[in-house]
Structure 1
Amino acid sequence: MGSNNAYGGEEEINVLITGFGPFKQEYPLNPSWEIASRLPAVLPPLRAKQPSTQKPPLIPRVNLHVHPEPIHVSYKTVRELVPKLWAPNFADSSSTSSSSSNPLPPTPTPTAAEATTSSEAPFSEQDAAAAAANEEPEKKPKYDFAIHIGMAGPQPRWAIERLAHRDGYALRDVDGEFLRDRENQLRDGDDWVWKGCPAELRTDLDLDVILEKWRGYCAPPGGLVVASGSGSGSEGGVEEGHGGKDGGKDGKDGGEGGKKEGGGKAKLWYGNDIKGGAKGEKLVISEDPGRYLCDFIYYSSLAELHKRKAEKRVVFLHVPCKLGKDGEYVRIGQELMLGLVRSVVEWLVDEKKRKGDLR
């Protein structure tokens, strides 16, 4: 059966996904990486009974490119890494043409006699594998969009962030270092990496449309009931600096999510009430990513695209800081990530139909 490809031909969509590493001693396993690292390489097809708010459009193959390592929770690491993540999108052929203008002299092919005298095994299997690997480095794809994942408070709530901030990073990272960007900005002037970037950057993805699609894919039929503790929210605010009105820092949402139902279980997965009012919403749009590493990597990605005058197709997803009993939050997070990816892709397909070109 042919692929459901709305782009035509063999065109595919490539998604960059990142997660963070350990956060201090309290979180040796960061749920953002636990979720990201368990994602499949290709977005799977919808299940027969997958819930949806509408008939889903046909989409091409979607490749999920998870950054191979959890990102160290430090300003220095993020600042050095983000331009490298986006480099494939802006690869310039001039580098290859300039190198070809001064080619190295050809290496003479050894004669059979020279080969046999130089080694008992002139070309072993290991040599062949090494030569093949060195012949042409793996070409990284151009990413159609990126999703950065980080952890927030303990409440069972998943928030996609609409914007990120350039300034205001007053907390130390896990290495005990401050960003000190204000000092760099004043001292270095033109050398400052974010010179000319606005204080606030917003994603170019239409999160309102994407949220509606995402909610349509979020919950299994009838909802899912999982075991939990009291859900008092006493651990609210211990996260990667995420706060603000949407962060649930006071733990209120954690308490609401943990109300016990019969049999000592709490309904942390919400079925139909996901589209309800403020108390029932567990998939939300936030406008305060927290002025810490989550905010910082989000702004770094947006700024990199802004400086390149490219569309800012990036979104940040905040997930609960707890793994949940037997890892149920991780499993839920995986399903939500796949639903979020599909929702963004569907929006891109709609954009293609409207504009005729995704990139």
Structure 2
Amino acid sequence: MAPIASAITRVLITGFGPFSGIPNNPSFGIASRLPSSLPNDIELIVHPYAVPVAYHPTLNAVSRLYSEVQPDLSLHMGVAEGRTYFAIEQTSRRNVYHIISDVDGQVFTPEENEAVWAGQPELLSTELDLNAVVADWKNRTADFTWPFSATSSDVMSVNDVQWSDSVGNYLCGFIYFAGMAEMGSNGKNKKRDVSFMHVPLLKTEEELQLGVDVAIELIQSLVQSWRSQRTS
């Protein structure tokens, strides 16, 4: 039998900063509005600064945070500008970050990739049970309503939270892969108990508050599933 989870579950949270066309990144807008704790003995360790949309600073931040915080699980967040729903991502690829330059005009070269992640597979997937997580997340958000005006391009249907496998080949995919590689190598249980949520391009305070509520329910779902996995 797996060890029983400790009374307090520690969850590391990050959000990204601005990049081209996104001066106010809602992922950090959500992260910065989260409380320090939630019911059911959940402690949130929210990184107090937006993670730069840049490969090398992100890699350094991930390495430092996982070492210092030693979280039980983590939730990284980023924006998906064209989406009108929240999504938790399944997998991330390794050697695709030399294609798009970051806000510093840099890429993460194949040579750097090999130096940092030698031995890692091309594709990493979270070890969290996202099927169980999404089912519970949908139930928890079933009564939520979308605050945008009801236009065909803006409206979000009630309970529109989803599983996805399209994290992309920019900083969202990069931080997700880096987190899974880091926790899988150095975490408390050496398991990839890492997650990534894409959020829509939320702009108003009302929209951001919805994002906070959605994130809180996702965290509750993640922790519930994580605890169940550890005690089964």
Same fold (TM over 0.5): yes
Instruction: Letter of the 1:14 partner, please give it.
Output: R
Cα distance in 1 for partners of 2:78, 2:150 equals 23
Paired residue total: 226
More strand by share: 2
Cα distance in 2 for partners of 1:183, 1:335 equals 41
Select 1:161's aligned residue among 89, 107, 122: 89
Q: 2:79 aligns to what?
A: 151
Q: Are 2:225 and 1:302 aligned?
A: no
CA drift of 1:219 comes to 3.3
SS at match of 1:81: helix
CA drift of 1:143 comes to 0.9
| Contact 1:158-1:284 at 8 Å conserved across structures | yes
Could you list the structure 1 runs, at least 4 aligned residues long, displaced by more than 4 angstroms after superposition. Answer: none
* Structure 1 residues 157-199: Cα deviation after superposition (integer angstroms, max 9, x where no partner): 111010111012200001111211x1335xxx6xx01011000
CA drift of 1:306 comes to 2.6
Cα distance in 1 for partners of 2:206, 2:128 equals 29
Cα distance in 2 for partners of 1:65, 1:333 equals 18
Cα distance in 2 for partners of 1:316, 1:345 equals 14
1:29-108 correspondence runs (5 A)? 29-43=24-38, 45=39, 59=40, 61-88=41-68
Give unpaired runs (5+ residues) of structure 2: none
Select 1:228's aligned residue among 113, 132, 149: 149
CA drift of 1:22 comes to 0.8
Q: 1:51 aligns to what?
A: none
Q: Are 2:199 and 1:343 aligned?
A: no
Cα distance in 2 for partners of 1:225, 1:70 equals 25
| Contact 2:100-2:170 at 8 Å conserved across structures | yes
Q: Percent identity?
A: 33
SS at match of 1:193: helix
* Structure 1 residues 255-298: Cα deviation after superposition (integer angstroms, max 9, x where no partner): 3xx3xxxxxxxx5351xxx3xxxxxxx21111121100000000
For residues 224 and 77 of structure 1, do their structure 2 counterparts lie closer, same or farther at Cα, with a shift above 3 Å needed? Answer: same
For residues 225 and 84 of structure 1, do their structure 2 counterparts lie closer, same or farther at Cα, with a shift above 3 Å needed? Answer: closer
Q: 1:211 aligns to what?
A: 134
Select 1:195's aligned residue among 118, 125, 130: 118
Question: Which structure has the larger Rg over C-alpha atoms?
Answer: 1
CA drift of 1:15 comes to 0.5
CA drift of 1:81 comes to 1.3
CA drift of 1:226 comes to 2.7
With a CA cutoff of 8 Å and minimum separation of 6, indicate the structure with the bigger relative contact order: 2
Cα distance in 2 for partners of 1:225, 1:285 equals 19
Cα distance in 1 for partners of 2:32, 2:47 equals 8
CA drift of 1:345 comes to 1.2
| Contact 1:197-1:307 at 8 Å conserved across structures | no
1:254-273 correspondence runs (5 A)? 255=153, 258=154, 267-270=155-158
CA drift of 1:321 comes to 2.0
